[in-house]
Amino acid sequence: MERKKDNSAIKELIVPVTAVFIGLVLGGILMTLTGVNAIEGYKALIMGCFGRLEYVSETIVYTTPLIFTGLAIALGFRCGLFNIGCEGQYIVGLIGAAVVGAMDLGLPTFIHLPLTMLSGMACGAIWASVPGLLKAKFGIHEVVNSIMMNYIALYLSHYLVNGPIKDPGITSPYSREILDTAKLWRFFGQNSPIRVNSGIIIAIAAALFVYYLLFKTTIGYQIRAVGFNPEAARYGGISVPTNIVAAMFISGALAGLAGAVQIMGIQFKFLDIFAFQGYGLDGIAVALVGKSHPLGVLPSALLFGILQRGSQTMQMLAGVPKETIGIMQGVIIIIVAAEGIIKGWLPIRKILGTDKKAAGKEVGRA
């Protein structure tokens, strides 16, 4: 790896970049099919994301949770785990933050705010630990359990917000608004419609933290060793079960933090949800395109944040169905997952200088 450094960077990037490119071309084709000029469509997308200060703010608002869930899933991938349960961990994170944030304990901001955040993280971490423990103890695949936990979280939240944590003052199924001491700082004023807030700083800090954790600490090394080859890690004296639980715990905490930041910076209360918000699923695309690297997750999250935000404006301004973006996203994930499709492609093989090996082993466990 060290010997051919410049080439390896290209190797790492070529698949996601090509996949995104194919996705964009496909999006253009779909727009043309619906009778919209593709260039107009993409112009609407860019204008909708960066045309005005509010739009830039909204783009960042869309990006923030994707950074967290992208990091959560990337960290899981590094340990050979597929944390598909981010959706559920995000929901319990919302609830954890909404409940503690609304508690009037007479605490000052510098205690109440981190406490609220920690509560959301703890809920997510506990939620993720269940599949983690089941995997570590019984060897049950984490994917099925995570999916089950997603639905349990969804129904649990529905129950809670219609009963125990419902704001009695209003008829709608909302929880009580969190106190000012638990709210994140909005850059343009607490009541401003420009919603961008310090959540994005926390997200970037989280990315740096995960980078540090994975590549500069012992636990990070162990997590990666388990993901790379559990058998070898075990022979090397690394406890595989411990690291599986640890990775799921941290991953869940990140997904829970996504929920907490959403409550503390954007929603201020838990609003009843009837379907998954999609941040967990989008996080998978973010992690894959970011090559499961914490610093790759940042631009990747921004890309998908732009696409998500832009899909709305594309529909409004250019009449492009917003689902176009979803189709692109699905195709991008498939292509990155089956990187052999791209690596086996002749011009790409020439760039890579690998005419023989076209194996794909990166994503998750082989």
Partner 1 sequence: MSRLGKGINWNRLVRSRAFWLGAALVVLITVFSVNSIRSMGGEMFSYLVIDFFSTGIFMATPLILTSIGAVFSERSGVVNIGLEGMMLIGAFFGVMVSYFTGSAWLGVLGGMIAGGLTAALHAYVCISHHANQTVSGVAINVFALALTGFLLKAVFHRAGQTDRVTKLANWIMPDFFRNIPIIGDVLGSNTPPVYIALLLVVAAQVVLFHTPLGLRIRACGEHPEAADTVGINVTGTRYFCVILSGVLAGLSGVTLSLGQLSLFKEAMTDGRGYIAIAAMIFGKWTPLGAFLASLFFGLATGFKFISQSWNMTSIPTDFLLMLPYILTMLALAGFVGRLTPPAASGLPYRRRGSV
Q: If you write DSSP's letter for every residue of 79-109 in order, what string do you get?
A: TT---TTHHHHHHHHHHHHHHHHH------H
Nearer to partner 1 (CB atom), residue 295 or residue 338:
338
Q: Pick the binder of partner 1 from 66, 84, 122, 226 (CB under 8 A).
A: 84
Nearer to partner 1 (CB atom), residue 52 or residue 350:
350
Binding segment for partner 1 among 8-16, 40-48, 283-291, 345-353 (CB under 8 A)? 283-291
Asked whether position 71 contacts partner 1 by CB under 8 A, the answer is: no
**Tokens read off for 100:** 């503690």
Name the residue among 5, 47, 14 with its Cα closest to residue 335. 14
| Length of the chain in terms of residues written | 366
Q: Which residue has the tokens 């955040």?
A: 117
Spatial neighbors of 105 by CB under 8 A, at least 6 apart, are 112
Separation CA 192–CA 249 (nearest Å): 35
Spatial neighbors of 319 by CB under 8 A, at least 6 apart, are 34, 36
Build a one-symbol-per-residue string for 171-210: x at contacts with partner 1 by CB under 8 A, - elsewhere.
----------------------------------------
Count of residues touching partner 1 (by CB under 8 A): 54
CB 275, min distance to partner 1, A: 7
Asked whether position 82 contacts partner 1 by CB under 8 A, the answer is: yes
The answer to whether residues 107 and 181 touch, using CB atoms and an 8 Å cutoff, is: yes
CB 313, min distance to partner 1, A: 16
Asked whether position 288 contacts partner 1 by CB under 8 A, the answer is: yes
Helices and strands, number each (H, E), in the chain: 15, 0
Separation CA 203–CA 188 (nearest Å): 19
Nearer to partner 1 (CB atom), residue 96 or residue 283:
283
**Tokens read off for 29:** 């084709």
Asked whether position 326 contacts partner 1 by CB under 8 A, the answer is: yes
Helix (H, G, I), strand (E, B) or coil at 205: helix
Spatial neighbors of 82 by CB under 8 A, at least 6 apart, are 73, 76, 142, 143, 146, 364, 365
Build a one-symbol-per-residue string for 236-275: x at contacts with partner 1 by CB under 8 A, - elsewhere.
---------------------------------------x
Asked whether position 113 contacts partner 1 by CB under 8 A, the answer is: no
Residues 8-67 that bind partner 1 (CB under 8 A): 30, 33-34
CB 216, min distance to partner 1, A: 27
Burial class, 149, CB count within 10 angstroms (exposed 0-12 / middle 13-18 / buried 19+) = buried
Residues 136-155 that bind partner 1 (CB under 8 A): 138, 140-141, 143-145, 147-149, 151-152, 155
Nearer to partner 1 (CB atom), residue 195 or residue 322:
322
Name the residue among 228, 263, 232 with its Cα closest to residue 247. 228
Asked whether position 156 contacts partner 1 by CB under 8 A, the answer is: yes
Asked whether position 316 contacts partner 1 by CB under 8 A, the answer is: no
Separation CA 67–CA 75 (nearest Å): 12
Residue ranges in contact with partner 1 by CB under 8 A:
30, 33-34, 82, 84, 130, 134, 138, 140-141, 143-145, 147-149, 151-152, 155-156, 158-159, 163, 275, 281, 284-285, 288, 321-327, 329-331, 333-334, 337-341, 356-360, 363-366
